[in-house]
Structure 1
Amino acid sequence: MREQRPIIALDFPNFETVKTFLDQFPKEESLYLKIGMELYYSTGPEIVRYIKSLGHAVFLDLKLHDIPNTVESAMRVLSLLDVDMTNVHAAGGVEMMKAARRGLGDKAKLIAVTQLTSTSQVQMRADQNIQTSLVDSVVHYATRTAEAGLDGVVCSAKEVSAIKEATSANFVCLTPGIRPAGASVGDQQRVVTPELAQEIGSDYIVVGRPITQAENPVASYQAIKAAWSGQL
C-alpha cells in the first residue's frame, strides 16, 4: 500500500539542528523521517528514540553490508529501536539479506539498496565492473532481494515498473532522487518529480534538500505531499 507521506531525509549533522527543523512543523503533523548515516553516527540511537517519542515514523537508512553473521547481529540490535523501516545493500548477497531478516524479525520493513540514485550507467560499468545495463542490474538485485524474503528495494522511480513486473505488485519500491520541477538535482543522476513517481507506482518517496533547505520547509513539504498524493 502506497505511503501517502513523503519521507523527509533528515540530512543534518546533529541533534539540535533536527530539533530546530522539526519545531517548525505543527505538533499534530505526523511525519515519516529518514535518519541516515551522518545523523545516526553523530547522535547514536537516541535520535531514533526522540523522533519516535514525537509520534513520527522512522526509516533508518544505514545500508548495512557485511558478512551475514555481523549483519544479523547488528539487525538484532536495531530491532530494539522500534523503527518502521531499515535497509541493507543487496550487493551483500542473498545469504546476508536472509541473515538481516532473521536479526530484524518482522518488527519493521526491511528493504535493500539496488543501485544508488547517484550512480549512472557509465559509473556502474567503470567502478563496479557490471557490464549489463543499469536497469538490468537493478532488476537483478530486486529479484535476489525478493528471493531473500525482504519487503522491497531502494531504487530510482525510473526502474519501478520493471521491478514490479519481475517481482510482484506488492514488492515495495522506495524511491529517492525526487525533485520538484525546476529544482536542482544536486549529486543525483536518476531523478523524477513527485507527480511522476506517483504515476509510475513508487510506494514511498524520499525528499531531502528541496524540503530541508527550503526557505519555508513546511510549505515545501505540503506542496510536495500534495503533488505526491495527486492533489495538485
Structure 2
Amino acid sequence: MSDPRIIVALDFPIAKQALELTAKLDPRWCRVKVGKELFTAAGPQLVEKLMGKGFDVFLDLKFHDIPNTVANACKAAAGLGVWMMNIHALGGRRMLSAAREAVPIGLSKLIAVTLLTSMERSDLNEIGLNGDPQDVVQRLALLARDCGMDGVVCSALEAPSLRKMMGRDFCLVTPGIRPVDASLNEQKRVSTPRQAIENGADYLVIGRPVTQARDPVSMLWRLNEEIEGTRRNEE
C-alpha cells in the first residue's frame, strides 16, 4: 500500500508502549500520530525512532500562539522530518500565513485544525462562536485554504461539504473514526471508516480501536480492507 489512509494515534503516556505497538505494525499499512501526551513524555527522540522504523509521522501538537512562535515551532517540526503537522485555525490569518512561510510547500504537510471533534453547538455558544459546528468548520477551512494550508482536520460528518467546496487536492484528515461496534468515548462527531472515505476523507486518524485491540494487527488489516473495499466501489 503506497499511500496508507490510516493514521494510528499513538496516544500513550510513555515511549515504551508506543514502540511495543509499532514493532507489531507495518509502515506500509499505516502512518502514526504523535500527540501532546506522548511528545511531552518522550520528545523528538521518539519521533526520530518511529521514522527510523519507516513510519510517516503526523506530529499532532496543534500549534496555537503568536505568529513568530508558531512559525519557529513549525520550522523545528519540519526539521525533524515529520510527514505532517498541524496548527489551530483559530490562531487567525497572520499565524496561519507565518506557518506556511516557515514550511515551504512539499516539505511537510501543513494541516489546520478547525474544531475539535469533542465540541458541540453548546460548547461553541459558550466561547462565543455562534452557529452550527459545520458552519464554523467551513469558515475556518476557507481561511486555512486562503492562507495556503495543505488541508484541514475535520470530522467525517463535515467532509462531504468541505470536499465539494475545496476540491480534490485539498487534504481532509478525519479523527473520531470508530468501527461500527466500538464505543464513542468522549467524542461526539464520529464516523465509521467506510462512511469517512465515502464522505471524501483522505486520511483517517484511528486510536483506541487499534491500540487497545486484543490483536492490533488483525484490526488494522480489517480496517484497511474496509477502506479498500470502499475505494474499489468508487472506481
**TM-score between both structures, scaled by the size of structure 2:** 0.93
> How many Å separate the matches in 2 of 1:227 and 1:159?
21
Asked if the contact 1:4–1:228 (Cα under 8 Å) also holds between the matched residues in 2, the reply is: no
Matched with 2:113 is: 113
> 1:63 and 1:25 mapped to 2: Cα distance?
26
> Is the 2:4–2:29 contact (alpha carbons within 8 Å) kept by the matching residues of 1?
no
Which residue of the partner structure matches residue 125 of structure 2? 125
Equivalent pairs: percent with the same residue? 40
Matches of 1:102 and 1:226 in 2, distance apart? 38
Aligned pair in 2 of structure 1 residues 3, 142: CA closer, same or farther (>3 Å)?
A: farther
TM alignment of 1:70-149, pairs within 5 A: 70-106=69-105, 107-126=107-126, 128-149=127-148
Residue in 1 aligned with 2:222?
Answer: 223
Q: Is the 8 A contact 1:30 1:56 kept in 2?
A: no
Give the superposition deviation at 1:30: 5.1
Distance 1:167 1:5, change over 3 A: closer
1:43-54 to structure 2, matched below 5 A, reads 43-54=42-53
In structure 1, distance between residues paired with 2:165 and 2:23: 42
* Structure 2 unaligned regions, length at least 5: none
Give the match's secondary structure for 1:158: coil
Shift of 1:29: 4.4
RMSD value, Cα: 1.6
TM-score, normalised by the number of residues in structure 1: 0.94
8 A Cα contact 2:163 2:200, kept in partner: no
Separation (CA, whole Å) in 2 of partners of 1:220 and 1:30: 11
Equivalent pair of 1:6/1:205 in contact (CA under 8 Å): yes
Helix, strand or coil at the partner of 1:229: helix
What is the CA–CA distance in structure 2 between the aligned matches of 1:71 and 1:19, rounded to whole Å?
28
Question: Alpha-carbon deviations, 1:56-96, whole Å to 9, x = none?
Answer: 11100000000001111111111111000000000001110
Task: Label 1:70 to 1:176 Cα distance change in 2 as closer, same or farther (>3 A).
Answer: same
**Structure 1: stretches of 5+ with no match in the other structure:** none
Please give the alpha-carbon distance, in whole angstroms, between the structure 2 residues aligned to 1:6 and 1:84.
14
In 1, Cα distance between equivalents of 2:129 and 2:28: 43
Q: Is the 8 A contact 2:117 2:155 kept in 1?
A: yes
Whether contact under 8 Å (2:11, 2:34) holds in the other structure is yes
Counterpart AA for 1:23: A
Equivalents in 2 of 1:69, 1:23: separation in Å?
37
